[in-house]
Amino acid sequence: MITAISVDDQKSFHKMLSEMIKENFSDRISLVTSCSTIKEATLAIHNYKPELIFLDVELQNETGFDLLQQLPEKNFDVIFTTAHDHYAIKALRFSAIDYLLKPFGPEDLGNALSRYEAHQQTKRSPRIDLLLQNLKTLSDPRKKMALPTANGYEIVELNKIIRIESSNNYSIFFFTDKDQMVITRTLLDYEELLEDYNFIRVHQSHIINMAHIKSYNKTDGGTVTMNDGTTLDVSRRKREDFTKRLATMIR
């Protein structure tokens, strides 16, 4: 049985979640208490030591991220609940932290619980730490991001990433210093995370940094050559979007 608490500033949400759990998942999860503020949540975490927290992103003048940053130890998993699909959601996806977009139903909650149970044996705090690091670095004017490694994570500057290549369920990062990193995440994760930072997917297997394009050849279907000398195909489906983005750079 999973021990859980919910943290949300709306009483209606607590009632909805409690009833949804009682009616559909009472054999899998016990919602032991509900909190409306970070102060209440901090006390509840100390008293109940939950395995799982349903955490709202925005809590009046505070955020769920503020709560996580204040806790010295994070011996629990988090499912964020939010009505706002903005850049924070990209950070949540990238950091392997689950989330539910409001309003959600029993099927959505059931899927989230199944994902939690599937990852229950993994270390928890590194994923939360990775989330907090990405929220910080993606809002930094120098634009950095955290890449997960076997021992934690490595901070890299976005302008030093030339391209990202898909390799089954892995992604290979290629950098300006000719270094490479293999990351156990799919290309789709990075496409969504980096689309607002001058990166574009030009092919099923390739994401490129537009700042590192050396040339574009529109013959033979279209190919782009990067500053590291690599020539990549631009797929038919991606060509229109790519050429529009390229045109904005040469005006």
CA atoms within 13 A on the CB side of 163: 23
pLDDT above 90 covers what percent of the chain?
44
Confidence band, pLDDT 50/70/90 cuts, at residue 200: very high
Q: What is the pLDDT of residue 139?
A: 57
Single-letter amino acid code for the residue at 39:
K
Question: pLDDT by residue (tens digit) across 167-194?
Answer: 988 999 999 988 999 998 888 888 877 8
Query: What are the residue ranges of helices labelled H in 25-150?
Result: 38-48, 64-70, 87-94, 106-118, 125-138
Scan for tokens 């089954």, then name that residue. Answer: 168
- Lowest-pLDDT choice from 114-118, 148-152, 156-160, 229-233: 148-152
Task: Give the residue-averaged pLDDT of 97-118.
Answer: 87
- pTM recorded for the entire structure: 0.58
Peptide bond into 106 cis (omega under 30): no
**What are the chain's domains?**
2-132 (3.40.50.2300), 142-249 (2.40.50.1020)
Check if the beta carbon of residue 67 is closer than 8 Å to that of residue 41.
Answer: yes
Q: Is the pLDDT of residue 217 over 70?
A: yes
Distance (Å) of CA 219 to CA 47, 79, 214 = 66, 48, 16
CA–CA gap between residue 237 and residue 26 (Å, rounded): 46
| 170: its two tokens | 């892995």
Q: What is the pLDDT of residue 87?
A: 45
